[in-house]
A and B are shown apart, each in its own frame.
Chain A
Amino acid sequence: MRFLDFFRNNRKTTATVAKERLQIIVARERTTRNGPDYLPMMKEELLLVVRKYIQVEDGAVKVQLDKEGDCEVLELNITLPDEPTASS
């Protein structure tokens, strides 16, 4: 019994793994849920435009739509690489 407990305490149970995975994916899907349908496409195009000038990674462009009172705020966040390399 003690032998089994040793393993049990050291390993994450699959239920714990499931819960953590769900919390992450559900949180991500909730942020895009209420946004307009064009957001993901706009993000893709913005990434292409940025890449015409600077080589950035796939996740470098973050688009977020927030509501502040009656005002809707579109927040655009582009992470530049440490040493920007201009491409022709």
Chain B
Amino acid sequence: MAEVIVITSGKGGVGKTTTSAAIGTGLAMRGYKTVVIDFDVGLRNLDLIMGCERRVVYDFVNVIRNEANLNQSLIRDKRVEDLFILPASQTRDKDTLDIEGVERVINQLAESFDYIVCDSPAGIERGAFMAMYFADQAVVVTNPEVSSVRDSDRILGLLASKTRRAEEGREPVKEHLLLTRYEPARVEKGEMLSVDDVKEILAIPLLGVIPESKDVLQASNAGSPIILASESDAGQAYEDAVSRLLGEDLVHRFVEVEKKGFFNKFRLFRS
């Protein structure tokens, strides 16, 4: 039985699509057959972040409307085996998603995939609701910043009441906090909310802390999920997050200011 994971946040621009691409790729790299679905109908971007924008022929809405079948719409990733992308429609508006259609597609995907990663659009409108409705797990992407934390809390409320698990009174959606764009140096100076602050306010388990990194923009420029940049600290932080998602217990890295010792300085000169 496939596990459905929604990547959500409420607020826009916090790193949902970056995270969807990274976690989806990470799961596939561990050998799990994974599909990442873009729920942002009208504003599709997952294809760009994953570097397959020129291979989109049919999309999610085409499948829902029976204008194409799943095999025609799924894009197979060229770098990672077992990784597929179901792109969002670019032309139609979000209201074309209907719950029966989404359910049919997810059920069909569940027959052959291990993980279904749903990249939610921002906001709390229909698209975001559809993306979370069938979820078994939720990764709440949050920046250490007041509006993002507040919106995340709002999303947690919706996860607890507006999902199928909630409606059927089953075990609630398993929630994970992913703190992105974290800057330990600014936290130390008291300029930024700390991991512990955000954890205390949202009160959900921490899946990972992704440090602010220039590599993320570079990865999106190239259309290559950041997790493939194995030398990047952000890429490594995502790898850790995927391990934790799979049940491993790892110490959180990149949450403290890196102490600049003599050897580190020396290395800087050489590179």
Contacts and interface: CB of A to CB of B under 8 A. Distances in A.
Interface residues of B, number: 18
B157 interface: yes
Interface string A1-34: 0000000100001111011011101100110011
Contacts of B165: none
Contacts, number: 44
Given A13-B190, A26-B149, A29-B150, 5 more contacts: A15-B192, A15-B194, A19-B200, A22-B150, A29-B153
B154 interface: yes
Interface of B: 145-146, 149-150, 153-154, 157, 161, 187, 189-194, 197, 200-201
B194 A30 contact: no
Query: Size band of the A side of the interface?
Result: 10 to 19
Contacts of B146: 18, 21-22
A18 B145 CA distance: 8
Given A22-B146, A25-B150, A34-B161, A15 B187 contact: yes
A15 B187 CA distance: 8
B153 A15 contact: no
Contacts of B187: 15
Contacts of B193: 15, 18-19, 22
